[in-house]
Amino acid sequence: MAFTGDALLIRGCGRTDFQIFTLPKPTLLYPAHDYKGFTVTTVGEEIQYNPRLTKDEETFKHIMENLNLSYPKMMDIAVPANMVCGLQDLPSKASS
């Protein structure tokens, strides 16, 4: 079982720098949210059915580079916070 957050959206993808497909195919994957209401998938299902991740690397790059998405508003805050599990301010709050 893996909780993928926004790294994998069922039949889609968010961040792509995580190696989800190295997990065994029956591994259950739980994304943070899904736009179609799905709550769980497996590595095997995503390998077989994910329309972006079933493409070769060059096609995938082309798709992702041409989505014309704006830079996420909170990206510069969210990524550093995610890298420390959101605990970067814990010591100062705990000592208050």
- For residue 61 the two structure tokens come to 């790059």
DSSP 85: T
Query: Would you state the pLDDT for residue 35?
Result: 74
- Report yes or no: 31 and 4 within 8 Å, Cβ to Cβ: yes
Strands 2-5 vs 28-31: parallel, antiparallel or unpaired: parallel
- Sign, CA torsion 31/40/44/50: negative
The pLDDT tens digits for 49-92 are 888 777 888 888 898 889 888 888 888 887 787 777 766 665 55
Q: Categorize the per-residue pLDDT at 10 as very low, low, confident or very high, splitting at 50, 70 and 90.
A: low
Domain ranges of the chain: 2-70
What CA–CA distance (Å, rounded) separates 79 from 37? 25
What CA–CA distance (Å, rounded) separates 79 from 42? 25
* CA 37 and chain centroid, separation: 16
